Chains A and B, each alone.
Chain A
Amino acid sequence: MIGTLLSGDLPRSKVLSVVMVAILLGLALAPFLFPGTRALNTAATICVFIVLVASYDLLLGYTGIVSFAHTMFYGIGAYGVAIMLDRMPGSWAAIGLGVAAGLAVAVALALVIGLFSLRVQAIFFAMVTLAVASAFMILASQLSGLTGGEDGLTYRVPRVLTPAFKLFQDKLFGVRVDGRIVDYYLVFFAALALFLLMLRIVNSPFGRVLQAIRENPFRAEALGYRTVVYRTVANGLGAGMAALAGVLMALWQKYTGPDTTLSLGIMIDILLMVVIGGMGTLYGAAVGAVIFILAKNYLQGLMGAASEALAGLPLIPHLVHPDRWLLWLGILFILSVYFFPTGIVGRLRK
């Protein structure tokens, strides 16, 4: 049963199995284990980024495609729903239309970019995607009538996804189950389904061909596989998954703007999460997303507490001052790459 659900791609490491079960249970029970707006927001962000990072790993880790346009597809999905909900507030039809439009635009754009530029060397494809993503970000900022420009769009989601909605009259395990928690579970189960779907894809015959292309495209061609076609389809699949992650984020945040969906900073975060977790394994995407987002959300607070606790000591309180959290995040990244060159999951699976 579990083997079928995971498409035969089991964690193959006791430690990794425990980590994955802990992540699954932690996210599944987050509203009850970690009550509070900030914790729930962190858990929802982790769910969305697991999908986003896994979809990027489909390109980078499984197919060997370096793309800088992934946040563009993420943004297209988010803007699809945001624009529709802005026009038809609180409507499920708007969400349906937004998902369909965002998905269609993202996949079509990815296929066009792929067909025209995946024939060239990897570095040129990376440059093309960087240029297209930058142009798209400027376009989204300038088309303020449609996208809200730099301010972005704030919109109303269906009432069942708002805090005003109460699923049960009484509290459940001490927590009032309102629309916010319903929204969280929508994000959680959608993310889980998309993750399992991606596991199915990478463990299918199609996924094997992608891995063969990553290892040696000439050998794959000599076996009769048209590498451009496979790469282009992988690019379209990755874009579609990223767009769906954008949809989930749009439904969770109820706000979509260029900084939260299209920025190069998010692209760099995705790259870091893939590298930390381990390329070429979707479990790595999950581990990388959890570690990175937890560090980003809580490292500063932890350092503040540590700085106060060590106030009497020389130098150390300054080193762990909360203002230096980015420095420590960088050091953590360097250490993780040094000790786990194949990523955490790559190391655990050895």
Chain B
Amino acid sequence: MPDALPDALLTLAGVHTHIAQYHILQGVDLTVPRGGLTMLLGRNGAGKTTTMRTIMGLWHASAGSVTLDGRDITAAQTPDISRLGVAYVPENMAIFAGLTVRENLVLAARSGPLADDRLDWIFGLFPALKKFWALPAGNLSGGQKQMLAIARAVVEPRDLILIDEPTKGLAPAIVQALIEAVNELKATDTTILMVEQNFHMARMVGDTVAVMDDGRVVHAGAMAELAADDALQTRLLGLSMDSHQ
């Protein structure tokens, strides 16, 4: 079990999750430090998305505990976890296609009307959202949908943002724009836990890293250490980061 670090915002200790008869998470120990960006890496099927969904309460842990800022949220319902200041950006550009860009953001602003300064900041991060403000979100391109999904998560200040594979299926130019946006987001001291397959992005934005395999965290440490160690990358991920520039 990981030590409960004084600056840990989120801690998973020995978390097991079953989906139907399948035992997906098999004792996940993970610590997400406050104020940084933690990358969650691993091969397909390692349990990264299930970890995110378990944190968010979309799947419930069958054993172990999930602690957010000292509060046990293992059995909490998803809306309650959201109200504690956790935002979730699922994979596959999860927006509400039938609603306009504006309506998508208004829905996510739970504490009241959209604040103008916050909106200006979001438009600075993602200018396309201003351009297509009144259009149904289903009409946006893949990259714009992903931007809207992230914008929805940051429309209000959050304690923790969970982002699942934001670059999946996106063109390199869009990925670069996302990297810049995430770096700006980091400057606000928001804590982020991000699942990513794109190692270039992981190295560019990650502060700490946890690598998963077979439903467990098999390595945790600084992102810079993993980025500098080709042998470790090959052992943990099966590939060198240099091959993913």
Contact = CB atoms under 8 A, between A and B. Distances in A.
A205 B106 contact: yes
Contacts of B82: 221-224
Interface string B58-78: 100000000000000000011
A222 B110 contact: no
Contacts of B96: 211-212, 215-216, 219
Contact of A216 (B94, B106, B110): B94
Interface string B93-115: 01011110001001110100000
B98 A222 contact: no
Given A211-B98, A216-B94, A223 B108 contact: yes
Interface string A241-270: 000000000000000000000000000000
Contacts of B219: none
B33 interface: no
Interface residues of B, number: 21
Given A205-B106, A224-B110, A280 B83 contact: no
B88 interface: yes
A311 to B, nearest CB: 51
Nearest to A217: B78
Contacts of B98: 211, 214-215, 280
Contact of B99 (A208, A218, A221, A225): A208
Where chain A touches its partner, the secondary structure class is helix
8 contacts: A205-B106, A208-B107, A209-B107, A218-B58, A222-B56, A222-B90, A223-B82, A280-B98
Nearest to A280: B98
A225 B79 contact: yes
A324 interface: no
A333 to B, nearest CB: 25
Given A219-B90, A219-B94, A222-B88, A212 B78 contact: no
Contacts of B152: 223
Which residue of A205, A216, A219, A222 has the most chain B CB atoms within 10 A of its CB atom? A222
A216 B108 CA distance: 14
Given A208-B103, A211-B99, A224 B83 contact: yes
Contacts of B106: 205, 208
Given A222-B58, A222-B90, A223-B82, A215 B107 contact: no
